[in-house]
Amino acid sequence: MTSARIIGTGSYLPQRVVTNRDLEQQVETSDQWIRERTGIYERRVIGEEECCGDLARIAAQRALEAAGISGDDVDLIVVATCTPDRVFPSLASSLQRDLGIRPGATAFDVSAACSGFIYGLGIADRFVRTGGAERALVVGAEAMTRILDWDDRGTCVLFGDGGGAVLLEAAERPGVLTTHLHSDGRYEPLLYVPWGPGQGYAALGTQSGYIHMRGNEVFKVAVNTLTRIVEETLDAAQVDKTEVDWLVPHQANIRIIQATAKKLDLHMDRVVVTVGEHGNTSAASIPIALDTAVRDGRIQRGELLLFEAFGGGFTWGSALVRY
């Protein structure tokens, strides 16, 4: 049976580093509070001249190089983002042009907030398995700091910018084994950006364009939901938790990650944690963490990886992948 194998990974973080100490100058917070509650010690902030498409492009370019594949050989581009540069064209179509990917290929963006990469992977996996694409580029890229209120200490300490990408290829060997995508729109009041262009520009005068979050309530639902989805995923694949080699979770908060690892009885040295260095990069966080652990040699070919994510919507999702 055909499956979608990951044949290349790439990631990119913007140059500008903002530390917790820097944020102490901005809002009433402390390095200690941020580290203890979130595990974050610094984040990257996109440059004035940069845009989200740049983060996506560099990450995708690196994934193509890692796989040794040229743009001509890509049939599908899915970019997960909630901070696109334009209403349209999609970041995926811009990426197609910028990377010289074959004209006529399929390209679109996915909006599922922090779960966006898992959604993109799940969609691309279905394309590849059903013969709709031979090779698919799945990118998560976010300029989250563009939608942060830097006076709101409840959110500005949490997020950062970045991009990550994987290239999938149809193969007869196992690759993506199972993906699970969920949403529950009733939770919107806990995590949302009030304004979008559908409301008209006049509404921007009365509505905020920044992230609003009731962090404590988000935290509780996230922990419960992620521990549930781990069971759902392992059951679907008929895999025992002892078989998982690496947990590659969405990087939002070290305490949420630890709770999921505990559910799996997985020692933290089998969990890829990069949140400390870049904060919550939303849809970019899983491919950044994956690429980091692939390039530093922790993740090896043939190992079993579990990805999981939770975010605005609420949305949540998971994937079990034979790397």
Footprint on residues 254-283 left by ligand ACO (CB under 6 A) = 256, 280
Contact 183, 229 (CB under 8 A): no
Choosing from 16, 35, 146, 153, the residue that interacts with ligand ACO (CB under 6 A) is: 153
What does the block give as tokens for 171? Answer: 């193969």
Residue 51 bears catalytic tag: no
Decide if residue 183 touches ligand ACO (CB under 6 A): no
Decide if residue 310 touches ligand ACO (CB under 6 A): yes
Decide if residue 29 touches ligand ACO (CB under 6 A): yes
Choosing from 93, 179, 253, 292, the residue that interacts with ligand ACO (CB under 6 A) is: 253
Decide if residue 252 touches ligand ACO (CB under 6 A): yes
Residue 280 bears catalytic tag: yes
Integer distance in angstroms from the first to the last C-alpha of the chain? 17
- Distance (Å, whole) CA 194 – CA 196: 7
Whether residue 88 has a cis bond before it, omega within 30° of 0: no
Is 221 exposed, middle or buried (CB count within 10 Å of its CB: 0-12, 13-18, 19+)?
A: middle
- Number of CB atoms found within 10 A of residue 30's CB: 13
What does the block give as tokens for 60? Answer: 């995708």
Coil vs helix vs strand at 318? strand
- # residues near ligand ACO by CB under 6 A: 23
Decide if residue 35 touches ligand ACO (CB under 6 A): no
Q: Which stretch binds ligand ACO (CB under 6 A): 64-72, 73-81, 247-255, 289-297?
A: 247-255
* Rounded least distance, CB 308 to ligand ACO, Å: 10
Give me the catalytic one of 156, 253, 278, 280. Answer: 280
Residue 52 bears catalytic tag: no
Q: How far is CA 20 from the centre of its chain?
A: 22
Choosing from 15, 130, 216, 238, the residue that interacts with ligand ACO (CB under 6 A) is: 216
* Rounded least distance, CB 215 to ligand ACO, Å: 3
User: What count of Cα atoms within 13 Å lies in the side-chain half-sphere of residue 189?
Assistant: 1
- Distance (Å, whole) CA 249 – CA 226: 10
Binding flags for ligand ACO, 156-175, as an x/- string (CB under 6 A): -xx-----------------
DSSP sequence for 149-174: -TT-HHHHTTB-EEEEEEEEEEESS-
Can you give the binding site for ligand ACO, defined by CB under 6 A? 29, 33, 37-38, 114, 153-154, 157-158, 191, 213, 215-216, 218-219, 222, 250, 252-253, 256, 280, 310-311
- Residues annotated as catalytic (active site), given as ranges: 114, 250, 280
